Structure formats: C-alpha cells, structure tokens
Structure 1
Amino acid sequence: MSESGTARRRGLAVMVAVELLLIGLGLGVARGLDVHDHPARRPVANLFGPDFVDIDAVRPGPTSAATAAPGAATGTYTWDCGRNEDGHRNTANVVTAPGYPGQAHHVHDYVGNVSTDVDSTPRSLAAAGTTCRNGDRSTYFWPVLRTVADGAGPTGHSGHDGVIQVPTEVTLTYSGSPRGNVVAMPARLAATVGDAVAATNGGARAAATWTCASTPDRRATAYPVCPAGDRVLRVFDFPSCWDGRRVDSPDHRAHLVFPDPDGGCPRNTFPVPRLRLTLAYDLPPGVRFRIDAFDGQHNSPLTDHAFFVNLMPEPLMAQVVACLNSGRTCRDG
C-alpha cells in the first residue's frame, strides 16, 4: 500500500476515535443531568449542583382531582398563622422525640403554638398562645431553609451554616374528602409528611414537596431552579385517613395514612380534614439553598418533611368540619 493510502487510513481511524469519544462524552453528560427520576435537566440546573433540577424539566402531575361523590366534603378552610416573623425556632421535635433536644444543626421553623419546645407537654401546649388569628393552638413545623454561602460546595456539604430564610408567605388550607363527609380530628392528633432520613433509607417515604409559584403542577424531590422573579415553594400534603383510635403510633404514621388514588380512605380508616401547608420564599436570583438535615443526609432535598399536632379548640374544629362537609369556601384572617 502507498504511503498516502496508509496516511488516509490513519486519518480516518483518528476521526472515528474522536467521534466515538464525543458521543461517549455526550452520553455521559446526558446521564449526569438525570436526578431523582426526573427528565434530563437543562444545563442551567447543573450549575447549582446535583440536588437541583430545572423546574421546566419536571413532568406535570395529574391535572384533575378525584371526582367527588354526591354529598362529599368539597369545602376548603384557610386561615392565617403568620410566617414565623418572630423567629420561633429550635431543634426539638415534640412528635418523634418529646423531651429531648435535637441535633444542633437540624432547626425547625414554627407557626401556630408559640410555646412548642423541648419541654412542651400536652397541658403546656393547650394553655399557650398562638400566632393563628382564629385561635388555633396547633403546632406546625418544618426544617428551616438556608441560603448557601459561596465556596460551600455544590450542596453546602462544608457545614451547617447559612442564612435562615423566613418564608414570604405561609398558607394553611384544610380540605375535605371526595368520597364523603369528614369527621373531627381528635385533640393531640399528630401528623407526619416526608422523611428526614430519606437520603439513606431508600426514599420510599420521601414527598415531592418542591416547586415554583408559576408551576404548581410540577412537584419535585429536588431543589427547583425557578424562572427569574418566581418564588420557590414547598408544598406539604398531609395524610388524612385516621384509624379512629390513636393520636400517634410507634412510627408516627400508621395511625394517620394517606388516601387512596381515588381520594377514598383505606379500610378501617376515616377521613379527617386534610392539611396542605404551603411555604413560599423570595430568594435572590442565582442563589443556592438547602434545608437543615441530620448528619449523613447531606442536606438532601429528599429529606424535606413537616409535622403538625392538632390543638384546635373544639368549637373551631367543629366549624372546620361543618365548612368542609357543606362544600363552602371559608377563610379566617
């Protein structure tokens, strides 16, 4: 073979090798953009780290609610408990570890009952004041959200510091059941949504809480990258099917479970008012953020969670049930 023919073959082999390398790199980048089973994210999200997802890349959820049966509880009741402007925060958890201080780097925000702390008791909570304008003494709490300092790494793994962000708005809305009437929640009923250790236990109980104000139908288990000027939202939909006997259970879940896909409650459970807690944040453009989390959870958005303990006065609970069962839209504050 001539030298020119050999040179042409060598040149072709180099071109093929380069092309295969570029294809491999492209596939690697594409794989790197997939996170938490969401569609491939656009490159902008990757600038914030692997725990973030471009909200436009998240598939919308179901667009319609379950069809309501005749006479079902189709009402809603919304009221104002503030947004923790007073800075009621601590590391306690009166649901999972009453009487014990929590880890110093896992701080909760509170609205509602103003006394919730490590030494709280049912009696002390029932006698305390509240930030809710309608007199609801229930306690509602969730991990604080912090902005991440420059140089802290893509997800803030260098520590547990950062500026705590006060929500711009906190909305509490109770809704009914599409399958029938709701019954009153008992005093001290505890409720849990999400899982604080989801990053290390498989994530089966993780809740898709993250979205943006302009895209409420797109819920993610990753921190959202929202359009400029949009609000970051955390939306907690609590379970609402009560076993009729207990106000808590060993795993803090078995006594109050989620409805079936059609909105009905599993056998031997009864529908109670269902809480949706929505937190809205105005964050500076391009800032990274994270929630407080336990050691070993890497501040993962999968670990987002919230709790409430029902301490509504009986007349208020009766008012809520009547509103929901009559199909009205009610609002206090």
Structure 2
Amino acid sequence: MLVGAAALLLGGGGLAVVATTALAGNSQPEAGSGHQHMVNAAYTISCPDVGERLRTVPHSAQLPVSKGLSSLDRQVHDAYHKMMGGSGSNVLSGLKAQRQKTINMMVTAIAKNAKRPSYLLKMSGCTMKPITEGAGTGGNDSTKSVKDGWYQGQTQTQTGQTQDQTQGQDPNQNGSQQPSQDPNQNGGQQQGQQGGPSPDDFVDITTVQPNADAPPFAAPKGGNATTGTFTTECGRNEDGHFNSDNVIVTPGVSNGAHHTHDYVGNKATDAFSDDNKLAASDTTCNNGDQSTHYWPVLRKLDGAAEQKPGAAQDANVGTTLTPATVTLKFRGSQAGQVTAMPRFLRIITGDAKAFTNGTKNANASWSCTGFEDRQLKDKYPLCPQGSQVVRTFAFQNCWDGQNIDSGNHRDHVAFSDQNGNCPNGFKAIPQLTQRITYDVPQGDSFAVDSFPEQLHKPVTDHGDFINVMPDDLMSKAVDCINNGQECT
C-alpha cells in the first residue's frame, strides 16, 4: 500500500494538500489494468474566490482579468510545493504578497472603465484548514428533492464552509498541519487519479427514493403553464471537439478549465472565440443552430493517461467516454409565456468548485435510464445491467432583460421559484436542459473531469451554454413553446 502526497490546484481560490492512499495493494495503476480509487484526508490552503466576487468587468479588462485569475491559480500551486519543501508558515505570507500584486493588477484594469472594485484588495490573505469528507455538500442528503430547493433555490445562503474562508486557523500554526509524508513521495502520484473518486461517492440507484416529480424533470403544469418544447439535435461530439479552455470564464487563456470539455454545436469554440467567430462558425446541429454546448468529459477509470493539459497533466486520468445520446431541449414556464433569449447569452449552470465552494451554485444531477424520477446531486449512480448513466443540466430560466453576461457569469440569470415566478426585474426565458447518457463499465469505475482539488466529486458537475441561434430560429423555438407544440 502506497501513501503519497498530492498537490491539488484550486483555481483562483485555494489548494488542497491531500494525503492519498492507493487501494487494492497497487502502488501504480497500469493502463487497462482496472480502476483505482484514492482515499483523501486533507488540508487545504483556502483563499477567497476572487472570480466569484467579480461584478462589472469591462471589455477592455477582460483579458487582464482572465490572466489574473490564471495567475492566482498558479501562485497557490507553487505555494504548495514550497510548503511541502519545508518552508512552513513563510509560505502563506509569500502567497499573500503575490496575490496582492495580482489582484491589484486586476482592480487597476477594471477601474480604467468601471467603478474601482476595491473590495477585491481585501481577498489576498489565505488560511490553512482541513477539508472533511463531503465538505462541499454541507452534509445535505444526496437525494434531496427538487421541491426542497436544490435546483430552484439558488438564492439560499451559501453553506458554512465557504462563509468561513477567511476564518481559518492562525496561518502561523500551519506548520503543524502539514502531512507527515516525505515530499519526495508525491512524484509518482502527480499524473494519477489524484484523490478521487472514492467508493463513498457512488450509490445504487435502486436504493434511492423517487424525488424528481417537478420541473425541470417533469413538464411545466398548471393553468398558466407553457407546455411546448423545442429540441435541437447536435450529435454526440462524433467529430472529437475537445479542449481544456473555458471561453465564458477565462476567455483568451488556454487551459483555463484545467479539465477537458466535451463540445457539441458550434465548431469554433475555444478560449479565443469571440462573438463574431462564433457567428461565422459551422455547427454540428441539424437545424442551423450555432449555439455552443459543453460540459466536462466523463472518463472510464482504466489508468490510461494522456499527457496533455486538461488530462493527465491536470490529474484527469482514464479513457474519455463518448456519450450514447445527447438531448438538448428547451421548455416553457409554469407561470406563463417565455421571451426570446438574446443572441450570445452565456449561461453556466452548476459549480465546478462546489466541493470547496459549497453548494450555493451547485446544480449537478445524476441518474440512470429507467430511474430518472430519482436524481442524485452529490453521488454517482450505480445503474442496473442494461441501464445507462444519465447526466442532466437544467439551466437558469430567468434573464435580467439587459445583459448577455456578468462579471461572475451568474448575476444576469436566475432560477424561477417553484411556481415559475422569476425574481423582480427578470424575465422568463426557455429553460435549456442538456441530457447526456453513457454506457459505462459496471461498478464504481467512472468519474467526471474536474479541477484537481475538487477530487472528481459528482457535485462539481456543470454545464455551459452560449446561445448563438439565429434570431428567426429562436423566434420559432419561443412560438413552439408558448403555443404548446413539440418542435425541432
């Protein structure tokens, strides 16, 4: 049994120092030899999430801000290596100085054409604190019902583990918190399936009680509901469009996601795609829809290691699984008619860092074919023989009526309440659901790509969408939905 220390990079927000144990008596997995799980006991360098606090980012500041967020990631990564080398408490003070410089650069860039976000300057300090199993979910039941506010309760107070980001232990105490392993032991682990998933991340779907009898997993209903649908068929990424960019969050920065994305629709999407490039692109959709749809790949944990960014170089190991089916469907509202989405509207649903950020923005949904009235948010499903794994992303269905994006990429859209009512000032728009199915090996032998520090937890699953529908096609979709028709 091999014990090692793995550095897990927290993008813009922290770094998990994870002691990992290889199970089944194997010190290193070989490609094709089966799968491996890691058990984590962990400490983390916890830093305030600068990206989440961004509000107004003028176009002129977009690239400096993207580069700044990427630099914050790298600084925390480097701080870990110094700490494992025995630098102790000096690491946090050095990290704070680096973050101050980077955040000040971002603030200065924003202030040239917008109000100076001075509050960001208070986010440079980091602390060291433990990560407990399931910290990202706050102990919530993994089978919590839609009606309990999981999908449509996005305005709830964030869970405690993110509220105390700046209330960790005294940084001077962190020397006693370091894992006791020889830092040289981690070399053999760096390209492995670091820290996850664990067997506890899986549950037999047949043991889960039905919990999804309301939208978005059931059609809108009621006297005012708009019951039509519009489905766009864009294939299963047969063309092999993959990259580890994130054009919404870190435009202009390669490998901004630190995990691999699976794309359908717009063929030009990468970190450097602006609206003009997207509008001029070919598409895999059969109705001329040029929209961009992407999500993290799902991998078979067979030990295969592709040495490139977003894959083994970012602790994402295993063979990429091609979806069996991809369904992209727009639905109406329980409260009444929907209005057209603006072209180039950007929406992120879920939180790629929910394991460390908490579940405020989490929106993962896992199930099995034949059991989709049972949805899991922080567990992977173990499906019966012949049943496929299902990932469903139900996107925000309210828009502020003005902006196609926002500084933190969330504030311009929202979820309706259980009755379909949008927050004040927001309009109902068609609700996109991305439904992806997979044929996976039997057992707990698959995992979603993630930021390294997120330990491949299912709660971190997320979907991304840029609406590039031509206006006439969007009008058709809205008419179909509002008139109760089923259209493609």
Which stretches in structure 2 are left out of the alignment for 5+ residues?
Answer: 1-132, 134-138, 144-196, 306-311
Cα deviation, 1:254-295, whole Å, max 9, x if unaligned, reads 111011011221221101111010000011223511111112
Secondary structure, aligned partner of 2:276: helix
Match of 1:197 in 2: 353
Q: Comparing both structures, which one devotes a greater share of its residues to helix?
A: 2
| Matches of 2:461 and 2:233, distance apart in 1 | 23
Cα deviation, 1:56-89, whole Å, max 9, x if unaligned, reads 232322424554234x421011121001011100
Tell me by how many angstroms 1:150 deviates: 6.2
Secondary structure, aligned partner of 2:355: coil
> 200, 219, 243: which is aligned to 1:50?
200
Match of 2:365 in 1: 209
Aligned length: 288
Contact 2:382 2:444 in 1 (8 A): no
Secondary structure, aligned partner of 1:317: helix
Contact 1:38 1:57 in 2 (8 A): no
Tell me by how many angstroms 1:151 deviates: 11
| Matches of 2:325 and 2:212, distance apart in 1 | 25
Contact 1:191 1:307 in 2 (8 A): yes
Relative to structure 1, is the Cα distance of residues 123 and 232 closer, same or farther in structure 2, using a 3 angstrom cutoff? same
1:93-112 aligned within 5 A:
93-102=246-255, 105-112=258-265
Match of 2:241 in 1: 88
Secondary structure, aligned partner of 2:452: coil
| Matches of 1:75 and 1:104, distance apart in 2 | 35
Equivalent pairs: percent with the same residue?
45
Match of 1:146 in 2: 299
> 304, 316, 322: which is aligned to 1:160?
316
1:32-51 aligned within 5 A:
37-38=141-142, 49-51=199-201
Contact 1:206 1:303 in 2 (8 A): yes
Under a length normalisation based on structure 2, what TM-score does the superposition of the two structures give? 0.56
Which stretches in structure 1 are left out of the alignment for 5+ residues?
Answer: 1-31, 40-46
| Matches of 2:304 and 2:281, distance apart in 1 | 43
Contact 1:176 1:182 in 2 (8 A): yes
> 215, 231, 239: which is aligned to 1:78?
231
Match of 1:68 in 2: 222
> 278, 303, 306: which is aligned to 1:125?
278
Match of 2:486 in 1: 329
Tell me by how many angstroms 1:109 deviates: 0.3
Tell me by how many angstroms 1:175 deviates: 0.5
Secondary structure, aligned partner of 1:216: coil
Secondary structure, aligned partner of 2:475: helix
Match of 1:230 in 2: 387
Give the superposed CA RMSD: 2.5
| Matches of 2:304 and 2:240, distance apart in 1 | 27
Tell me by how many angstroms 1:161 deviates: 1.4
Match of 2:404 in 1: 247
Relative to structure 1, is the Cα distance of residues 298 and 256 closer, same or farther in structure 2, using a 3 angstrom cutoff? same
Relative to structure 1, is the Cα distance of residues 36 and 165 closer, same or farther in structure 2, using a 3 angstrom cutoff? farther
> 424, 433, 437: which is aligned to 1:280?
437
**What letter is aligned with 2:360?**
A
Relative to structure 1, is the Cα distance of residues 308 and 326 closer, same or farther in structure 2, using a 3 angstrom cutoff? same
Tell me by how many angstroms 1:219 deviates: 0.8
| Matches of 1:128 and 1:187, distance apart in 2 | 14
Cα deviation, 1:122-144, whole Å, max 9, x if unaligned, reads 10110000000000001000000
